[in-house]
Amino acid sequence: MAVTQLAAPPAPPTPATKKSPTAAPLALVLRKVGTLLITLFFASLIVFFSRFVLPGDPARFLLRGRSPKPEALAEITKQFGLDKPPIEQYFTWIGGILHGDWGRSLTYRQSVSDVLLNRLPVTLELVALAAVFITGLGLIAGMLASLNKGGWDRFILITVTAAGAIPPFVAAIALTALFAVQLGWFPSFGSGDEGPSRLWHLTLPALALGVTFIAFMARVTRSSMNEQLTREHVEVATSRGLTRSSVVFRHVLRNALGPILTVSGVLIAGLLVSSAIVEQTFGLTGIGQLLVQSIDRLDFAVVQAIVMIIVTAFVLANTVVDLIQPLIDPRIAAGTESR
Partner 1 sequence: MAPTRLSRRRLGAVVAGCSAIGLMLSGCGTTAGGTVAAKFTLSNSTPKPNKEIDQFSWALYAEPFSLDYAYAFDYPDNQVLANMCESLFRWNPDLTSAPGLATKFEHPDDLTWVYTIRQGVHFHDGSLLTAADVVASLKRHVDEKVGSFWASSFERVADIQKTGDYEVTITTSVPDYALNSALVGAPGVVESAKTLAKDGADYGNATAGVNCTGPFEFDHWDAGEGITLKRFDDYWDPSLRAKAKQMTFKILPDANARVNALQTGEIDGSWQVPSNALDILKANTDAGNVYFGNDTSVQSLVTSNLNGVFGDVRVRKALMMAINREALLQAAEQGYGTTTDALTTKNVWVGAQPSTVNSAFESLDKQDYNLDEARRLIKEAGATGKKFVYATASLTAAFDITSRAVASAAREIGLAPEIQTMSNDKYTTLFSDPEARKGVDLFETSWYLSSAEPLEMYSVLRTGDFSNYGGWSNAEYDQLINSAVGTEDDAERNRLTAQAAKIASQDVVWSPLYETVTALWLGKRITGVTPSINYMYYPWAATIGGR
Partner 2 sequence: MTLTGTLPLLRTRRYGSLLSVTGWVAVTVTLVVVLLSLLAPVLAPYDPDFVDLSSVLGGPSSAHLLGTDALGRDMLSRLMFGGRTSLVGPLIVVAASTVLGLLLGLAAGWTDGWISRILTRVFDLLFAFPALLLAMLAIAIFGKGLMAPILAMTISYIPYVARLTQQLVVAERSRPYVQAYRVLGFRTPWVVLGRVMPNLVPTVGAQSTLNFGYVLADLAALSFIGLGIQPPTSDWGAMIEEARGALLGGHVLPALLPALVVVLIVVSINVIGEELSDRIGGKLS
Spell out the SS3 assignment of the chain: CCHHHHHCCCCCCCHHHCCCCCCCHHHHHHHHHHHHHHHHHHHHHHHHHHHHHCCCCHHHHHCCCCCCCHHHHHHHHHHHCCCCCHHHHHHHHHHHHHHCCCCEECCCCEEHHHHHHHHHHHHHHHHHHHHHHHHHHHHHHHHHHHHCCCHHHHHHHHHHHHHHCCCHHHHHHHHHHHHHHHCCCCCCCCCCCCCHHHHHHHHHHHHHHHHHHHHHHHHHHHHHHHHHHCCHHHHHHHHCCCCHHHHHHHHHHHHHHHHHHHHHHHHHHHHHHHHHHHHHHHCCCCHHHHHHHHHHCCCHHHHHHHHHHHHHHHHHHHHHHHHHHHHHCHHHHCCCCCC
CB of 252: closest distance to partner 2 in angstroms?
17
159 binds partner 1 (CB under 8 A): no
Out of 307, 320, 323, 332, the residue judged to bind partner 2 by CB under 8 A:
307
Per-position x/- string for 64-83, each x denoting binding to partner 1 as judged by CB under 8 A, each - no binding: xxxxxx-x------------
Give whichever of 79 and 118 is closer to partner 1, judged by the CB atom: 118
Measured distance CA(76)–CA(17) in Å, rounded: 47
53 binds partner 2 (CB under 8 A): yes
Give whichever of 171 and 333 is closer to partner 2, judged by the CB atom: 171
CB of 306: closest distance to partner 2 in angstroms?
9
Q: Could you tell me which stretch among 45-53, 112-120, 221-229, 247-255 binds partner 1 (CB under 8 A)?
A: 112-120
Query: Which of partner 2, partner 1, none is residue 282 near (CB under 5 to 8 Å by kind)?
Result: partner 1
Q: Which residues pair with 202 in a beta bridge?
A: none
221 binds partner 2 (CB under 8 A): no
Measured distance CA(238)–CA(299) in Å, rounded: 61
Cβ neighbours of residue 328 under 8 Å, at least 6 residues apart?
A: 254, 257, 258, 261
268 binds partner 1 (CB under 8 A): no
Q: Could you tell me which stretch among 75-83, 106-114, 240-248, 307-315 binds partner 2 (CB under 8 A)?
A: 307-315
Out of 12, 56, 195, 196, the residue judged to bind partner 2 by CB under 8 A:
12
173 binds partner 1 (CB under 8 A): yes
Per-position x/- string for 268-297, each x denoting binding to partner 2 as judged by CB under 8 A, each - no binding: -xx--xx-xx--x----------xx-xxx-
83 binds partner 2 (CB under 8 A): no
Question: Nearest to residue 329, comparing CAs of 234, 255, 233?
Answer: 255
Measured distance CA(184)–CA(18) in Å, rounded: 59
- Total site size for partner 2, rule CB under 8 A: 64
CB of 243: closest distance to partner 2 in angstroms?
28
Query: Which of partner 1, partner 2, none is residue 96 near (CB under 5 to 8 Å by kind)?
Result: none
Q: Could you tell me which stretch among 131-139, 158-166, 217-225, 287-295 binds partner 1 (CB under 8 A)?
A: 287-295
Per-position x/- string for 179-198, each x denoting binding to partner 2 as judged by CB under 8 A, each - no binding: --------------------
Out of 28, 128, 166, 180, the residue judged to bind partner 1 by CB under 8 A:
180
Q: Which positions touch partner 1 (CB under 8 A)?
A: 64-69, 71, 107-110, 114-115, 118-119, 173, 176, 180-181, 184, 187-190, 280-283, 285, 289-290, 293, 296-298
